[in-house]
Amino acid sequence: MISRWLYSSFIIILALSVVSILLLFFAALVTFSSLPSLNALTDYRPKIPLRIYSEEGFLIGEFGAERRNLVTIDEVPSQLKQAILAAEDDRFYEHGGVDYLGVLRAAYSNFAAGGVRQGASTITMQVARNFFLTREKTLTRKFSEALLAFKIEHNLSKDKILELYINQIYLGQRSYGFAAAAQTYFGKSLQDISIAEAAMLAGLPKAPSSFNPVVNPKRAKTRQLYVLGRLYKLNHISEREFKQLEKQPVPVVKQSREFVMPADYVAEMARQVVYERFNEEAYTRGIRVYTTIRHRDQHAAYQAIRSNVLEYDKRRGYRGPEAYIDLQKYEKNQEKALEEALDDFNESDDIFPAIALSVKNTEIQAYKKGGEIIQIKTEGLKFVAKYLAEKKSAEKKLISPGAVIRIQQDAKKIWHVVQLPKVEAALVSINSHDGAIRALIGGFDFHRNQFNHVTQAWRQPGSSFKPFIYSASLEKGFTAATIINDAPLSFSASQTGSKLWEPRNFDGKYGGPMRMREALAKSKNLASIRILQAIDLQYAQDYITRFGFDADKHPPYLPMSLGSGSVTAMQMAAGYAVFANEGFRIEPYFIKRIEDENGNIYEQTRPATASNDAPRVIDPRNAFIMTSMMQDVINYGTAVRAKQLGRSDLAGKTGTTSNFVDAWFCGFQKNLVAVAWIGYDEPQSLGKNETGGRVALPIWMQYMSTALKEEPIAKYNPPEGIVAERINPETGLRVLSNGIPEYFFREQLPPLSNEDLDGLGETTQSFRDQLF
């Protein structure tokens, strides 16, 4: 009876097993026939972001949802391959897509643990899931995953499968693939990572969000130790190496240092150009844009803007904390509360937000994001000393516990209390011969204000516009020696286009009759107005368009002589380039070429240059004399401070608008033009005596000191038709002896003085010098 029952049970079980196998086989046949094509693997075309590069090939910007760098399997270092296989699939080169031993091992481990602690997905199965399937945890998906793994193994080599995995897997921080992750987390190429870094990267696929070394460094370290342990167990590293690596910290680069140089404004300009052509495909096709930006110049420009803007801001005084946090409210879980509170305040490069924990006259203890407690002592409190000494009032926001402050560390590693400036600044430099932009900083901090003050800000240029009016006067018969009367003037509303105007010089003084050269060097407003009166307003308005300025933004009224129109910093750079390159108008450009992911060129810029195709817009003699006059702005005029650079080939002009609203310095060396500007977005005074020579010139000087460091001193040779004569500086007339040298157009030589005419035995004639 029992034997018959056993026999019947056996037959039933056998029948059910056969049916199950047949059903499984049938399901496999049906599912296998509906599996997707492997074209996505055999013709792998991942989403590769738009990348922007400097002239030297340094990455300066990247745009796209997926950050990815493609590598071949041969380019992957052996220690990374070992780490990946140790962490994910150590029998990868032995199984056929599904690791049955791994399945049994995982099942046992999960049973013993009383829950799901270990998976059994092979690298091939992960490739199948990442390319074709969802991440839902169902038997159907797992079944399809296994069948796809068999199909993949049948069609692709093991190395190709591993290569696909290494390039496709998501590893956190928008990074897809290990090459991108190496750059994101360590700032290195894949070939340069260490064993410790390889182990940390290999630990990411399991849970990129949880084991991310930026978001959770502690869990990332724990996961890295697991991978190192697996490497030791599989004899890839020795016990001694394991113990050393166990204790070795792995520094993670900050995202703000992701690129070699700060060039966000340039990268954004390039992104806009590419997007206009390719639309959304711009972010997935692997397009590469090579710009004209140079690393040394861009870095120098950035440092010049940052340091000088902060220096100006210090002179304006401390404005008080940005906000207050109620520390008593979060006593139980204070660290978490402080971290969350600081999420609302962005870093600005090396300027960090912090929350004051305790405040004394000689020391502030502050909490910095990441759990660091900063001690700021006497030297670092100079900027806010009076705020610590005063008592809190309704009118004044003082630093007290809970105050949100800004801190910055100097070269000596001393922390200082600082503040983010409200003022903005910009700098652009271009090659004067072809217009290649060498540096462009559109504002103090791109992440705080994306408005590009080089290309988008229309501001009054003030006295930095005078050289264009003086250049026009040379074409009308004026010379650098023409005597101009710097004396008071008054104009009606009809003459100015607005209201009664009684212009004055910056210092409120008048110099009387003086040479035009001297008037420009000392930026005499009344002399400039008289020049514009003499040459005709309409003529001047037409003339400035030769330099690239818009006539309609410079109405033909007398204030135009003092820069009352509107310009951009880019326009000013192009305008001054005409003087530097002997009279040619060049067009600034910043893109050298655009390539596809394989290096095929979509577009290449072939600029018109001063020696080829660029139109000549002013007489080279005019450019030479104007350059000579602007050299004297530095030799003894409003930019004499620039003589500290120790170069004899610099020329330029300061600019300050009414009530000190905008400050400029526009200047050049024969091969390089640079323009610096500073002002508020909502126009307001920079403060009394905050002139172009005081706030903009230092930016220009700091940049030029680096940009021209290896440049030999250039010579400005007089072009044909220029003659040098000696003149009497009081009258501007030629003299045969003594006097000072001056340059003239050959056909515009002033007459000899009466004394010299007498000496030559000629009839003395009265010469009345016209005072303009």
Which amino acid makes up residue 117? R
Count the alpha carbons within 13 Å of 126 in the hemisphere toward its beta carbon: 23
Query: Which residue bears the tokens 């303009």?
Result: 772
Distances (CA, A) of 637 to 5, 402, 646, 729: 116, 50, 16, 16
- Residues 48, 64 contacting (CB under 8 angstroms): yes
Q: In whole angstroms, give the CA distance from residue 669 to residue 493.
A: 40
- CA angle, 7 as apex, 4 and 9 as ends, to 5°? 110
Q: In whole angstroms, give the CA distance from residue 254 to residue 184.
A: 9
Q: In whole angstroms, give the CA distance from residue 734 to residue 753.
A: 6
Catalytic (active site) residue 492:
no
- Residues 516, 481 contacting (CB under 8 angstroms): yes
- Residues 406, 364 contacting (CB under 8 angstroms): no
Q: In whole angstroms, give the CA distance from residue 620 to residue 136.
A: 74
Nearest in space to 597 (alpha carbons), one of 49, 176, 39: 49
Q: In whole angstroms, give the CA distance from residue 36 to residue 291.
A: 42
Q: In whole angstroms, give the CA distance from residue 295 to residue 761.
A: 65
Task: Give the tokens for residue 455.
Answer: 């290309």
Catalytic residue among 54, 55, 62, 88: 88
Catalytic (active site) residue 473:
no
Nearest in space to 570 (alpha carbons), one of 556, 551, 586, 594: 586
Nearest in space to 373 (alpha carbons), one of 355, 350, 385, 351: 355
Q: Which helix (H) or strand (E) holds 10?
A: helix 2-33
Alpha helices by DSSP H, 234-293: 239-247, 264-278
Give the phi and the psi of residue 137 in degrees, each rounded to 5: -95, 80
- Provide the pairing of β-strand 288-291 with 50-53: parallel
Q: Is 291 helix (H, G, I), strand (E, B) or coil?
A: strand
Distances (CA, A) of 686 to 128, 321, 327: 62, 22, 37
Which DSSP symbol is given to 661?
Answer: -
- CA angle, 751 as apex, 748 and 753 as ends, to 5°? 150
Q: Is 748 helix (H, G, I), strand (E, B) or coil?
A: helix
Catalytic residue among 463, 561, 564, 753: 463
Q: Is 559 helix (H, G, I), strand (E, B) or coil?
A: helix
- Residues 300, 429 contacting (CB under 8 angstroms): no
Q: In whole angstroms, give the CA distance from residue 53 to residue 47.
A: 19
Q: In whole angstroms, give the CA distance from residue 220 to residue 209.
A: 10
Q: In whole angstroms, give the CA distance from residue 149 to residue 122.
A: 9
Q: Is 268 helix (H, G, I), strand (E, B) or coil?
A: helix
Q: In whole angstroms, give the CA distance from residue 446 to residue 273.
A: 18
Q: In whole angstroms, give the CA distance from residue 517 to residue 523.
A: 10
Question: Would you please indicate which residues are annotated as catalytic (active-site) residues?
Answer: 88, 463
